[in-house]
Amino acid sequence: MLKVTLAGYNIDSSLIRSLDQASATPEVISAAYARISRSAKSVSELRAEALADVAQARKSNQAIVFDLGHASVAEHAVFNFDVIGVSRLLTESLETLRFASFTEKSQRYVTFARDYVIPAELELPAHSALRREYISVMDALFAEYQASYAALKSLYASDFPDLPARARDGMAKEDARYILPLATTTQLGMTLNARSLENLLRRLIASPLREARELHAALLKPAREVCPSLVRHVEAEPFTGSFRALNPKIPRDDFQDEELVRLLTHTPNADDTILAALLYEQTQGSWQQCLDATSGFAAKVKQDMWDQVFADIRPWTKMPRAFELVDFSFELSLTESCWAQFKRHRVGSVIRQKHPSSRLWVLPEVIGEAGRSSQWHDLLPRVMDLKKALASISDELACYARLNADRVKVLVKMNLRELYHLIRLRCDEHAQWEINILAHAIAEQLRGVAPQATDWLCGKSEFADRAPTPVRQND
- pLDDT of 128 reads 97
Instruction: Write the CB contacts of 80 (distance below 8 Å, at least 6 apart in sequence).
Output: 10, 13, 189, 190, 191
Task: Give yes or no for residue 307 having a pLDDT over 80.
Answer: yes
Number of domain units in the chain? 1
- pLDDT of 475 reads 43
407-415, strands of its sheet edge to edge: 261-266, 327-335, 407-415, 349-352
Residue 86 lies in a domain: no
Mean pLDDT over 217-246 rounds to: 86
Distance separating alpha carbons of residues 210 and 422, to the nearest angstrom: 34
Mean pLDDT of the chain: 91
Range of the domain at 44: 13-76
User: Please, which pLDDT band fits residue 31 given cuts at 50, 70 and 90?
Assistant: confident
Residue 49 lies in a domain: yes
Residue 29 lies in a domain: yes
**Nearest alpha carbon to residue 386 among 370, 372, 401, 403:** 401
User: Please, which pLDDT band fits residue 47 given cuts at 50, 70 and 90?
Assistant: confident
User: Please, which pLDDT band fits residue 38 given cuts at 50, 70 and 90?
Assistant: confident
- pLDDT of 468 reads 67
pTM > 0.95: no
Phi, psi at 248, each rounded to 5°: -75, 150
Task: Give yes or no for residue 191 having a pLDDT over 70.
Answer: yes
Mean pLDDT over 231-235 rounds to: 87
Residue 50 lies in a domain: yes
CB contact at 8 A, 344 and 241 = no
Task: Give yes or no for residue 269 having a pLDDT over 70.
Answer: yes
Neighbouring C-beta atoms of residue 240, cutoff 10 Å: 9
**Nearest alpha carbon to residue 190 among 82, 346, 340, 78:** 82
Task: Give yes or no for residue 174 having a pLDDT over 50.
Answer: yes
Residue 394 lies in a domain: no
Residue 408 lies in a domain: no
Residue 52 lies in a domain: yes
Distance separating alpha carbons of residues 333 and 298, to the nearest angstrom: 40
Residue 64 lies in a domain: yes
185-193, strands of its sheet edge to edge: 78-87, 185-193, 100-104
Cis amide bond preceding 248, omega within 30: yes
pLDDT in tens, 385-439: 999 999 999 999 999 999 999 999 999 999 999 999 999 999 999 999 999 999 9
CB contact at 8 A, 325 and 274 = yes
Mean pLDDT over 342-357 rounds to: 89
Phi, psi at 471, each rounded to 5°: -65, 135
- pLDDT of 472 reads 55
Q: Which of 353-367, 437-451, 455-469 has maximum average pLDDT?
A: 437-451
User: Please, which pLDDT band fits residue 61 given cuts at 50, 70 and 90?
Assistant: confident
Show the CA angle centred on residue 451, arms to residues 445 and 454, nearest 5°.
Answer: 80
User: Please, which pLDDT band fits residue 249 given cuts at 50, 70 and 90?
Assistant: low
- pLDDT of 187 reads 96
CB contact at 8 A, 113 and 222 = no
User: Please, which pLDDT band fits residue 107 given cuts at 50, 70 and 90?
Assistant: very high
The helix/strand/coil state of 238 is coil
Task: Give yes or no for residue 305 having a pLDDT over 90.
Answer: yes
Mean pLDDT over 348-377 rounds to: 90
Give the helix ranges, DSSP H, for 185-316.
Answer: 194-205, 210-226, 270-282, 287-296, 299-309
Give the helix ranges, DSSP H, for 99-193.
Answer: 128-159, 165-176
Task: Give yes or no for residue 3 having a pLDDT over 70.
Answer: yes
Distance separating alpha carbons of residues 373 and 396, to the nearest angstrom: 28
DSSP string, 288-317: HHHHHHHHHS-HHHHHHHHHHHTTT--TTP
DSSP state of 66: I
